[in-house]
Amino acid sequence: MYFTDSEEFKEKSGYVIDGVWYPRVTKIVDIKAKPALYRFYAGMNSFAEGEAVKEKSATEGTAVHEAAEAIFLGQTPEVNDQIKPAIIAFQDFLEKTKIETQPEFVERRIVSHDHRYAGTVDAIAKINGKWGVLDIKTSQSIYRDYNLQTAAYLDALKNYFHNLETRWILRINQHQICGLCGATKRTKGGREKVKRNGRTLCSRHVWSEMKGEIEFQEFPSWQKDFEAFLGAKKLWEWENDYQLKKIGYL
């Protein structure tokens, strides 16, 4: 990625904490290949179209994130109709799953002094008697990249929260279902994507109303994922060594 100067690099790639700049976890993980993202761009008419869809999709995802975090904080956020099915599904999930957290544990900035990186954790929570990192996603699937991200959070927190032992990915989505063939249609970023459900797609779909969808997975073993994250960090530093040397990080 091209940066006009070192200040832009610092702003887009990290955080300043107590006067010290640290690279951001999500930027480091971006160095990993993303086959699903490549397929997404391949399906676009142009790179510019792909960027526009991705930007709009990110805005929608941010709205879901902010609403979910407000609910964790005991607030009643205003939710626009565009994301309402997803938030209703999230609220239904919370009624069935006991999640304990505290305001200071929601959207918490973390830093690893040992390995020199920083990030923002969606929530530190207690679920089924175990404390861990809870990360909210609005993607189509749960991707392996998330394991690197959450492992980095856990290692950074282990010296401050000695009872942390696991991590969860909570994916919040919404889609429509065809009443004839069971296919699902996901609309995000102004783009519709139809996925069949083990059967041949019918020629004329009959779509349901938009329905919220929740996927919740626990990933208790994280040490090997953290080793992989450190490998990604090494590669990211190699890729960006010019800027990192200019700002005195390397």
**Domains delineated in the chain:** 7-243 (3.90.320)
pLDDT at res. 35: 83
**pLDDT by residue for the chain (250 residues), tens digit each?**
678 889 999 999 999 999 999 999 999 999 998 888 888 888 888 988 888 888 888 899 999 999 999 998 889 999 989 999 999 999 999 999 989 999 999 999 999 999 999 999 999 999 999 999 999 999 989 999 999 999 999 999 988 888 999 999 999 999 999 999 999 999 888 888 898 888 888 889 999 999 999 999 999 999 999 999 999 999 999 999 999 999 999 8
**In terms of Cα–Cα distance, which of 184, 111, 172 is closest to 141?**
172
Burial 84-100 (b: 16+ CB within 10 A, else e): ebbbebbeebeeeeeee
How far is the C-alpha of 162 from the C-alpha of 160, rounded, in Å?
6
pLDDT at res. 200: 85
Give the other-Cβ count within 10 Å of 203's Cβ: 7
pLDDT at res. 225: 97
CB contact at 8 A, 181 and 202? yes
